[in-house]
Chain A
């Protein structure tokens, strides 16, 4: 077989029904009609994937939940000597076979950043690793972009299938789904029937056309040293960041922001150690025990956000920018701070700005 199937629009729910018997299937879906809120949710028969409008929240939580129990603990008293106790620990994993259907290329590619940090370093994050290994991505070849998208500016593009197991290619009447990895091909081949030669050709054409699109005006890679040069130019940061309300929305919606906090949530003798999302835009994020804060204002905090993605990360990981260009932070920032503009202006000199 060709490793490809055709799924007509009206057969999509049937396919998802079948897949959801084997996988926990996540799809972008309309969560609230009134505010047009789209986010990734678990598929259940009757739910419709939202493949034409963008999701406001990224699929990050699928591999990196906003709250994740690392283990459970109970203090067990020694009945003979009640001041002594032992600690009973229980592993906690929630990682069955999972499929993400209908993420966009930027969404899927966002996990490349996680992979570098959570899998490829000296220490592996077992929680992330197990989920990662058990999750397949069927990614939509992205046909449209809005004014905040800039995937091509960060070394990617609307047909970039990095990290995807399957490509979902929209054509007249439905989708051609193409297996890209062994696991993806295997799943595709057991999930439907091959496209007609015309359909296969239309899908190829669609992929080519999409790959030729350039989404985003400027190349935003290669700014690592400009950030360093600008580091202490507080006038620059003041100009860029004054409107920021340090709400952290940019970090919550971002598919590549991976900062977290660890807390023990206990009551009485038992509880859980929990990892939850944290945000570098918060004052408490860098507050040190003795009261010193190396990033006391929003200027240092936003500088860190940009620096991390466009300078420190690429310096450490072979030039890879840890921003996938999804534009979510731009779309949802309450004061319309535009990370593209900030990065671009890193290069300008003081004279350009006068």
Chain B
């Protein structure tokens, strides 16, 4: 995303008196990090930022950390900043009635891609103290205590962004900045899924075993996901009934990831948060992308586009064929 900080602040200043709070981002502990920010007072507005470091999908707070269903007594709304992918999660949450459309004021931010802090760390001499991160045209310029590194922006942006089909928010009350051209066409094949499918069955199993072997069962992927809504009732933790043992072995990890993916089938909006937050770098969103591709092919449905639509696995139609 290009830097839209100033335009965002100006806009929020103009409407803040009608809002209860605004979910946005502020700078994190170094120039490569950003953190979600609850703008609660007028004076907070000048801490807001919106740029290619605005990684986090803030809609997860609407569903998991606050009541975004019932109207506030004074009628004020919750402002929420969304990128293209985030807006799809919001649509899915509205469909499933975790959020009421008229409870939120949606600030849409067309997005050219967010940076992947891990890829950047691998591209600059590490360990290095990062002093500044700037996108200059198609190049990313990272200044560290060991000098300046420049590389193509595409080498530093997140996997989900390289294959983005919805960079422009699909719903919004205001759009900050001009719409951008999607990288892929709406019906384009998912290149990451295709790459894994090109492997033989044995290699594919090996690929996932190697990846999931690292999983430490922290559940950050689950907690970051806006649509993983069971919260404290997740099968991975409940003792009664006890579905899963505490063993850190492949069976249990595989079970967890398959459950996570299946519960997200036709619901996952490919925001990539599960993958970004994974402390051990497992491309967990890829499993959901594959399932989404199946849903698209079989049921001609794409999640998080139309707030009025009913996700296919949340309904039943006798007319469904081919299943």
Contact status A265-B37, CB under 8 Å: no
Contacts of B247 in A (CB 8 A): 67, 265, 274, 276
Can you name the residue of chain B whose Cβ is closest to the Cβ of A238? B38
CA distance A276 to B238 in the complex (A): 15
B321 interfacial contact with A, CB 8 Å: no
Contacts of B279 in A (CB 8 A): 56-57, 249, 252-253, 332
A233-277, CB < 8 A from B: 242-243, 245-249, 252-253, 261, 263, 265, 274, 276
B210-240, CB < 8 A from A: 210-211, 214, 216-220, 222-224, 231-232, 237-239
CA distance A263 to B252 in the complex (A): 15
Can you name the residue of chain B whose Cβ is closest to the Cβ of A149? B127
A–B pairs, 23, beta carbons within 8 Å: A36-B122, A37-B281, A39-B280, A56-B280, A57-B280, A66-B217, A66-B248, A67-B246, A146-B129, A147-B30, A148-B29, A243-B36, A243-B56, A248-B219, A252-B218, A253-B279, A263-B246, A283-B231, A287-B232, A334-B224, A334-B276, A335-B35, A336-B33
A-side residues, CB < 8 A to B, are 31-32, 34-37, 39, 52-54, 56-57, 66-67, 144-148, 242-243, 245-249, 252-253, 261, 263, 265, 274, 276, 279, 282-284, 287, 330, 332, 334-338, 340-341
Contacts of A32 in B (CB 8 A): 210-211, 214, 280-281
Contact status B223-A245, CB under 8 Å: yes
B51 interfacial contact with A, CB 8 Å: no
Contacts of A246 in B (CB 8 A): 223
Q: Interface on chain A toward B: helix, strand, loop, or mixed SS? A: loop
- Among B35, B118, B247, B280, the most chain A Cβ lie within 10 Å of the Cβ of B280
CA distance A330 to B65 in the complex (A): 22
Q: How far is the CB of B210 from chain A (nearest CB, A)?
A: 8
Known A-B contacts A53-B127, A247-B219, A336-B34; the reply to A31 vs B246 at CB < 8 A is no
Known A-B contacts A67-B247, A252-B279; the reply to A146 vs B126 at CB < 8 A is yes
Contacts of B30 in A (CB 8 A): 147-148
Contact status B214-A31, CB under 8 Å: yes
